[in-house]
Structure 1
Amino acid sequence: MLVYTGTMKTVIDLDDELLERARRELGTKSKKDTIHAALRMVAERSERMDGIRELLSIDRDWTGLLEDDKTPGGRRDAA
């Protein structure tokens, strides 16, 4: 009897340089974590776009938004 667990093993050829660039960008440690994070990012893209559209629909002057978000002492957060 086969039971589907939600995961599957797949053998694919990967571009090592592209995978390394994605790993650094995503802050992941392993190939598996990098691929899962990249797939998750793509799968959730439409939800992020909906959120952006909703924010853009708000009638607000967005000018100076970053300048308004300062830490005490006038220094901006590096993050």
Structure 2
Amino acid sequence: MKTVIDLDDELLDRARRELGTKSKKDTIHAALRLVAERSERAQAIRELLAVDQDWAGLLEDDKTPRGEQDAA
């Protein structure tokens, strides 16, 4: 569907840089997708936080280069 709207060029450019998109159309679609999927991401985070896990240790493991993890 085609729609004519006035856009804030500075805001659009900031979104383009943040999203890594090239065209106005791609930027707007990516931004809409990001907002539309926000509740799904929030639910996934809630489910992860509900798991009884030592997340601090997991984060530390993630910071260790792969070669060092294998040696440990």
Give the TM bin, normalised by the shorter chain: 0.7 to 0.9
Scaled by the length of structure 1, the TM-score of the pair is 0.77
The size of the alignment, in residue pairs, is 67
Return 5+ residue gaps in structure 2 as ranges: none
1:73 to partner: Cα distance: 4.6
Aligned partner of 2:6: which letter?
A: D
Q: Return the structure number with greater helix share.
A: 2
The code of the aligned residue for 1:53 comes to R
User: Distance between the aligned counterparts of 1:28 and 1:41, measured in 2?
Assistant: 13
Percent identity reads 79
2-structure distance, mates of 1:16, 1:49: 29
| Larger RCO (alpha carbons 8 Å, 6+ apart) | 2
Q: Which portions of structure 1, spanning 4 or more consecutive aligned residues, are displaced by more than 4 angstroms?
A: none
RMSD over aligned Cα atoms: 1.4
